[in-house]
Structure 1
Amino acid sequence: MNSEPHNLLFKNVNRKIRNLIININMDIISISSYMEDNDEYVSELHYYILALEDRNFFRHCGVDFKAILREFKNMLIGKKYGGASTIDMQLVRTITNYRERTISRKIYEMTLAILLNFKFSKKQILNCYMRNAFLGSHIIGFEAAIEKRFKDKPVLNELEMASLAAMLLKPMPLNPTKEWFFANESRARYAQKVRVL
């Protein structure tokens, strides 16, 4: 009996597993380079971001399995779906720039998000996300967004902070229109309604 095909299959599987482990390590190292040691307090702006993007952020391990099941159920019954990505997963996507819409890519993203939770605190992950999120044309991170939207204002009110968080869904265009400001304020007011401590 010829064991050559069996050995070849084993070598191929072995090579794929080794390459996957190498890729995971390289991506974790890449994401780690964006992290900071500071574990600063959670501000009002943080809470608005969590209200709009990931209400269970402090209660999951990088993947919100309940949200995934909910979205899968919505897909099966023909309802609108598409909201199971956690902040951890969005951070992975932002830094690695993986944009493929495949199940294997989503599983890989989930794996990296879980591993990040073993390596970093939730506050470190949230703050890294806030520094690297795309918020509009030439606007990366919330510090840049504050500068762009509220240049000389030393203290932001609640609606203004909520409007910054709303820019995650609809980033600010280079030349924002009245419609953009209206949509932004509507989502900001929604954030104020759903925001929890």
Structure 2
Amino acid sequence: MAKRTVLRLVYLLLSLPMIAVAILCYLFNFGNVRLYYKQCINAARKNNKTYSQELIQCLYFGEDKRGQSHLGVDYIGVFRAILSIVKGQLQGASTIEQQFVRTVIGRYERTLTRKLLEQLLSHLVCLRLTKLQIAESYLSIAFFGTHMQGVTSLCDRLAPKSYDLSFYAGVVARLKYPQPKRESQVWAAKHLNRTEWIMRQYNSANKAFKTDSQRSAFSV
């Protein structure tokens, strides 16, 4: 708990300058920030889908493990991504807020300008909406594969026999590896590995939580 509190404070201090810039861009509508922001808020308001806690947790473990601590932009992840680029590797640092914003405004060009816009909007969205609202809104419109726009269309196509941890982890795995029109062994292997990795993260975190709860109970 103390570690998360410190982490939140660090993210707050790192985010304040960008939040100030984001507010100024909104007030003066630099780069159509106000228009894009309204599109994001309207998309969240239109969403009437709710999802199980297991799916939401899988989303965070798979896409944004520090998502409950930052304010829309994971600056620790950004720093690590920059270091990986310097080393000749590629590592993403997009948060759920950023992925939601990107999907709503439809901007996918690989430029620093687009990335900066995305970060500014993510801060603004995070100030207005709850983490759960953003996560559920994103899941409702995210691209999971061919003819799979949002969790509802994915379920309609796959018609799962059961909704369990394995299924939810597989849903989130498709964010990194969208399901192609024709499945291949290569895609299936990548998807399976990603699914199992998310499940391990989920089980490990919940095991740690139960252990901490038991320790707290004994210390009372």
User: Which range, TM-score by smaller chain?
Assistant: 0.7 to 0.9
Q: Which has the higher contact order (CA 8 A, sep 6+)?
A: 1
Match of 1:81 in 2: 90
List gaps (5 residues or longer) in structure 1: 1-16
Larger Rg belongs to: 1
Structure 1 letter corresponding to 2:168 = M
Match of 2:194 in 1: 187
More helix by share: 2
* Distance (Å, rounded) in 1 between the aligned partners of 2:49 and 2:147: 27
Structure 1 letter corresponding to 2:62 = L
* Distance (Å, rounded) in 1 between the aligned partners of 2:103 and 2:138: 8
1:177 corresponds to which of 172, 175, 184: 184
Residue aligned with 1:135, SS: strand
* Distance (Å, rounded) in 2 between the aligned partners of 1:143 and 1:60: 28
Structure 2 residue 142 is the aligned partner of structure 1 residue 125:
no
Aligned length: 177
1:71-126 per-position Cα deviation (integer Å, ceiling 9, x unaligned):
112222x1413211111011111110111211121111100000001111110000
What is the alpha-carbon root mean square deviation over aligned residues? 2.1
- TM-score of the superposition, structure 2-length normalised? 0.74
List gaps (5 residues or longer) in structure 2: 1-26, 207-220
Q: 1:41 to 1:162 in 2, by over 3 A?
A: closer
Q: How high is the sequence identity, in percent, across the aligned residues?
A: 27
* Distance (Å, rounded) in 1 between the aligned partners of 2:168 and 2:52: 13
Q: 1:172 to 1:40 in 2, by over 3 A?
A: closer
- TM-score of the superposition, structure 1-length normalised? 0.82
Structure 2 residue 81 is the aligned partner of structure 1 residue 71:
yes
2:69 corresponds to which of 51, 54, 59: 59
Query: Post-superposition shift, 1:187?
Result: 0.9
